[in-house]
């Protein structure tokens, strides 16, 4: 009797006396059947079914579910069979117990390894009577609460299964409260160290957060009272640790960024008030544009309803606010399970949830008839259960799992970093597609690579996976090192006026030691990046050689020859866009390498005053590259004038990179052009051709003040 008492108190609160009696009978049956059995913790086995029943009672589940939960392990572990259950407690309870027992026999290693057939069985059992999975989830919750009694390996396996299979199902069914607890327990069982570290960090910031939360809470309450709007409850929420952890991992956010968000919930009496509260708080703090979501008008697929908005709070801190009715809140916490709470009443919001969950399950059943193939079926279901991922196929039929929004570049890096680094194009379902295309579920993706191809820094703007991002960054870092070394070597030799080989080895070593460089490449890299001044290093090299002859032996620097093909460490200033033929000056930019300015650029005068940063440069004799430069053309608005302009530039064999038009007075336009040319002679040819166009009034090269 003692184990039944706490359960009895809970069910008496919402169930009829006669039902409580029936539940007691189920309890007696279970207690007798399990008598003598112990849990790993040493307690009598009956403690477990009673605890599961209490979880369901806290969700106000119906009597049949409570009875089935008390009996959920008898078929598996005791001599009682389904027929007996049927006779004693009716068909419904017997079917529920049978369904839960069948689920218990299914075990999933991980989502990826989940056997298609098993998963299908599970979904089918759910579809027959959704209460089966609700009981199973409560069973799992209690097992997770008591998981510390198990061995480490077993703990790990169960935690993974919980996080990968059961918590997504709870989420899909809208059972937020249960899901959150499953995740917290799963996280702490799987990663006890990370869990503790995160909990500690949260605890540390707790005092300050609490002050801020109560301050915002007060402001919200006051503005509602002023307008005489009644609210039932307002509170600041703490984010759960697993969701913080997931955000840090998936979105790569720092702990402080996540904790900077304050979350509030406002519960009111009806839908009308929800919208009025929204208006008032938008008046109190400015809303962040495009972050408002109306899940009342358009509920989520699991039936969830609420208004969501994000506000700019005090000191610009983002505040997340959820506004909903009490019923919506119950729905948000218990999801599908809340159907049984209000079974007798006709409540619209919970009815919606029930209908939506049914629809989903019916769709699953239909899918299963249509496909017949379990693998295909599981893929379809997975898409529904794990909406944040897309499942893609390799041309050979392998399955890749990527986060939603992933592109062919993410796909390429997911296969292998070499494939990512050398990919040039992609075929999606056998059609060529841009590398930035967002991939959809079920697509077959083929990556086309080319030897010698290299990543493009623009990829960083659209890749979503950490793997792609870090590989691309790593590539550029490596590349930059190679190019910095080459530039540094040339800068130093230009400053010395002779090859480094002609400087004694002893002197080089003295220098390396004084800068604490491992080898000469580190020295070159540092010079190439502008962290060391080549001239200073050159002088020290000479001094080390013969300190008493400083004057006579100081180096005679040569200008550094610029070819335009040096790569990332030599850049051409966008303020003055020098091209071969222009007089140029080099600016050493710490950490970035060398920037080449036109000598007439206004920035050069400034640069000359910091002589250690400016270096002499000159163009190479033979240059193969093209260089960007800006032109401004005043043109009359004749028909076809722009086409003529473009044709003239093309005929002069120059490329137009960008073009912008500014109307001057309706008749004349200023056209801004960025074009690529070989050198000044080439530019002059372009300008000559453009001048010949009748509509062109004026053409000037920008920034040179011609």
Q: How far is the CB of 453 from Mn ion (least distance, A)?
A: 56
Distances (CA, A) of 284 to 102, 230, 313, 434: 54, 17, 9, 45
Paired tokens of 540: 């020290």
Residue 483 is a catalytic residue: no
CA distance 230 to 273: 8
The residue (of 73 and 347) whose beta carbon lies closer to Mn ion is 73
Q: How far is the CB of 20 from Mn ion (least distance, A)?
A: 22
Residue 121 burial (C-beta neighbours within 10 Å; 0-12, 13-18, 19+)? middle
Paired tokens of 9: 């108190």
The residue (of 38 and 561) whose beta carbon lies closer to Mn ion is 38
Q: Which residue has the tokens 């600041």?
A: 236
Q: Strand locations in 622-677, DSSP E?
A: 627-636, 655-663, 668-677
The residue (of 72 and 172) whose beta carbon lies closer to Mn ion is 72
Helix (H) or strand (E) segment spanning residue 133: helix 131-145
CA distance 96 to 81: 13
The residue (of 166 and 245) whose beta carbon lies closer to Mn ion is 166
Paired tokens of 234: 């307002």
C-beta nearest to Mn ion: residue: 139
Residue 586 and residue 560 in contact, taking contact as beta carbons nearer than 8 Å: yes
671-706 burial, b if ≥16 CB within 10 A, otherwise e? bebbbebbeeebbebbbebbeebebbeebebbbeee
Choosing from 31, 43, 62, 77, which is the catalytic residue?
77
CA distance 112 to 119: 11
Does the footprint of Mn ion cover residue 139 (CB under 5 A)?
yes
Q: For residue 433, list its beta bridge partners.
A: 426
The residue (of 137 and 428) whose beta carbon lies closer to Mn ion is 137
The residue (of 139 and 380) whose beta carbon lies closer to Mn ion is 139
Q: Which residue has the tokens 């009644």?
A: 230
Residue 455 and residue 475 in contact, taking contact as beta carbons nearer than 8 Å: yes
Q: How far is the CB of 3 from Mn ion (least distance, A)?
A: 15
Residue 604 and residue 628 in contact, taking contact as beta carbons nearer than 8 Å: no
Q: How far is the CB of 94 from Mn ion (least distance, A)?
A: 17
Phi-psi region of 120 (alpha: psi -120 to 50; beta: other; left: phi over 0): alpha
Residue 196 and residue 245 in contact, taking contact as beta carbons nearer than 8 Å: no
Residue 571 and residue 483 in contact, taking contact as beta carbons nearer than 8 Å: no
Residue 135 and residue 62 in contact, taking contact as beta carbons nearer than 8 Å: no
Which range, of 138-146, 225-233, 414-422, 539-547, touches Mn ion by CB under 5 A? 138-146
Q: Which residues contact 46 (CB under 8 A, 6 or more apart)?
A: 3, 30, 31, 34, 35
Q: Which residue has the tokens 């009806």?
A: 270
Choosing from 12, 16, 76, 272, which is the catalytic residue?
76
Residues within window 493-522 making contact with Mn ion, judged by CB under 5 A: none
The residue (of 55 and 492) whose beta carbon lies closer to Mn ion is 55
In the three-class reduction of DSSP (H, G, I as helix; E, B as strand; rest coil), residue 230 is classed as coil
Q: Which residues contact 124 (CB under 8 A, 6 or more apart)?
A: 365, 368
Q: How far is the CB of 143 from Mn ion (least distance, A)?
A: 6
Residues within window 67-126 making contact with Mn ion, judged by CB under 5 A: 73
CA dihedral 439, 442, 446, 447 (to 10 degrees): 30
Paired tokens of 583: 């007089």
Helix (H) or strand (E) segment spanning residue 152: helix 152-161
Does the footprint of Mn ion cover residue 630 (CB under 5 A)?
no
DSSP codes, 522-553 = HHHHHHHTTSS-HHHHHHHHHHHH-GGGHHHH
The residue (of 30 and 173) whose beta carbon lies closer to Mn ion is 30
Q: How far is the CB of 136 from Mn ion (least distance, A)?
A: 9
Q: For residue 38, list its beta bridge partners.
A: 44
Q: How far is the CB of 79 from Mn ion (least distance, A)?
A: 18
The residue (of 139 and 379) whose beta carbon lies closer to Mn ion is 139
Q: How far is the CB of 73 from Mn ion (least distance, A)?
A: 5
The residue (of 186 and 299) whose beta carbon lies closer to Mn ion is 186
CA distance 35 to 29: 10
Q: How far is the CB of 40 from Mn ion (least distance, A)?
A: 12
Q: How far is the CB of 76 from Mn ion (least distance, A)?
A: 8
Residue 429 is a catalytic residue: no
Residue 34 and residue 46 in contact, taking contact as beta carbons nearer than 8 Å: yes
CA distance 469 to 466: 5
CA distance 170 to 462: 32
The residue (of 39 and 467) whose beta carbon lies closer to Mn ion is 39
The residue (of 73 and 380) whose beta carbon lies closer to Mn ion is 73
CA distance 207 to 323: 26
The residue (of 189 and 690) whose beta carbon lies closer to Mn ion is 189
Binding mask 57-76 for Mn ion (x = CB under 5 A): ----------------x---
CA distance 144 to 12: 27
Binding site residues, Mn ion, CB under 5 A: 73, 139
Task: Please give the positions annotated as active site.
Answer: 76-77
């Amino acid at each position: 009797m003692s184990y039944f008492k706490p359960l009895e108190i809970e069910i008496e609160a919402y169930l009829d006396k006669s039902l409580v009696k029936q539940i007691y009978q189920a309890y007696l049956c279970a207690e007798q059947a399990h008598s003598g059995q112990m849990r790993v913790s040493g307690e009598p086995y009956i403690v477990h079914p009673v605890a599961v029943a209490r979880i369901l009672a806290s969700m106000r589940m119906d009597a049949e579910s409570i009875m089935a939960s008390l009996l959920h392990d008898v078929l598996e572990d005791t001599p009682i069979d389904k027929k007996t259950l049927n006779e004693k407690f009716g068909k419904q309870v017997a079917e529920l117990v049978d369904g839960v027992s069948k689920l218990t026999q299914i075990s999933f290693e991980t989502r990826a390894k989940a056997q298609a057939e098993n998963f299908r069985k599970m979904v089918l059992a759910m579809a027959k009577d959704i209460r089966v999975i609700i009981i199973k989830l409560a069973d799992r919750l209690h097992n997770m609460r008591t998981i510390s009694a198990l061995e480490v390996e077993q703990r790990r396996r169960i935690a993974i299964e919980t996080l990968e299979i059961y918590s997504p199902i709870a989420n899909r069914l809208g059972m937020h409260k249960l899901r959150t607890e499953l995740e917290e327990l799963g996280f702490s069982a799987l990663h006890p160290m990370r869990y503790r570290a995160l909990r500690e960090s949260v605890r540390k910031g707790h005092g300050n957060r609490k002050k801020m939360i109560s301050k915002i809470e007060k402001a919200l309450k006051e503005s509602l009272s002023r307008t005489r709007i009644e609210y039932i409850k307002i509170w600041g929420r703490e984010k759960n640790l697993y969701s913080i952890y997931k955000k840090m991992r998936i979105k790569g956010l720092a702990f402080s960024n996540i904790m900077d968000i304050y979350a509030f919930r406002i519960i009111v009496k009806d839908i009308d008030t929800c919208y009025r509260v929204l208006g008032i708080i938008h008046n109190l703090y400015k809303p962040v544009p495009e972050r408002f979501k109306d899940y009342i008008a358009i509920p989520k697929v699991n039936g969830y309803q609420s208004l969501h908005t994000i506000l700019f709070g005090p000191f610009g801190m983002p505040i997340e606010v959820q506004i909903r009715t009490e019923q919506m809140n119950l729905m948000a916490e218990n999801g599908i399970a809340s159907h049984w709470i209000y079974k007798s009443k006709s409540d619209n919001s919970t009815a919606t949830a029930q209908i939506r969950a049914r629809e989903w399950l019916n769709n699953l059943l239909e899918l299963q008839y249509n496909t017949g193939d379990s693998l295909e079926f599981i893929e379809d279901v997975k898409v529904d259960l794990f909406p944040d991922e897309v499942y893609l196929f390799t041309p050979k039929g392998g399955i890749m799992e990527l986060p939603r929004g992933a592109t062919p570049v993410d796909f390429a890096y997911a296969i292998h970093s070499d494939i990512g680094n050398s990919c040039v194009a992609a075929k999606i379902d056998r059609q060529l597609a841009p590398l930035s295309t967002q991939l959809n579920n079920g697509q077959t993706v083929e990556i086309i690579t080319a030897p010698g191809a290299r990543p493009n820094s623009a990829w960083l703007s659209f890749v979503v996976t950490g793997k792609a991002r870090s590989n691309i960054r790593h590539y550029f870092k490596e590349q930059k090192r190679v190019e910095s070394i080459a530039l540094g070597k040339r800068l130093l030799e230009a400053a010395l006026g002779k090859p480094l080989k002609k400087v004694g080895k002893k002197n080089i070593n003295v220098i390396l030691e004084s800068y604490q460089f491992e080898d000469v490449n580190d020295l070159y890299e540092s010079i190439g990046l502008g962290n060391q001044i080549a001239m200073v290093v050159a002088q020290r090299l000479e001094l080390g050689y013969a300190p008493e002859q400083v004057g006579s032996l100081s180096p005679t620097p040569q200008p550094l020859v610029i070819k335009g093909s040096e790569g990332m460490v030599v850049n051409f200033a966008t303020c003055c866009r020098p091209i071969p033929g222009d007089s140029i000056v080099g600016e050493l930019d710490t950490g970035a390498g060398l920037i080449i300015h036109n000598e007439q650029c206004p920035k050069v005068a400034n640069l000359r005053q910091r002589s250690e940063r400016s270096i002499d440069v000159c163009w190479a004799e033979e240059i193969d590259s093209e260089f960007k430069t800006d032109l401004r053309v005043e043109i009359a608005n004749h028909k076809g004038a722009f086409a003529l302009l473009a044709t003239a530039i093309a005929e002069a064999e120059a490329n137009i990179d960008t073009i912008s038009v500014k109307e001057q007075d309706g008749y004349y336009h200023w056209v801004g052009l960025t074009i690529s040319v070989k050198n000044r002679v080439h530019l002059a040819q372009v300008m000559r051709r453009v001048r010949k166009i009748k509509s062109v009034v004026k053409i000037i090269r920008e920034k040179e003040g011609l």
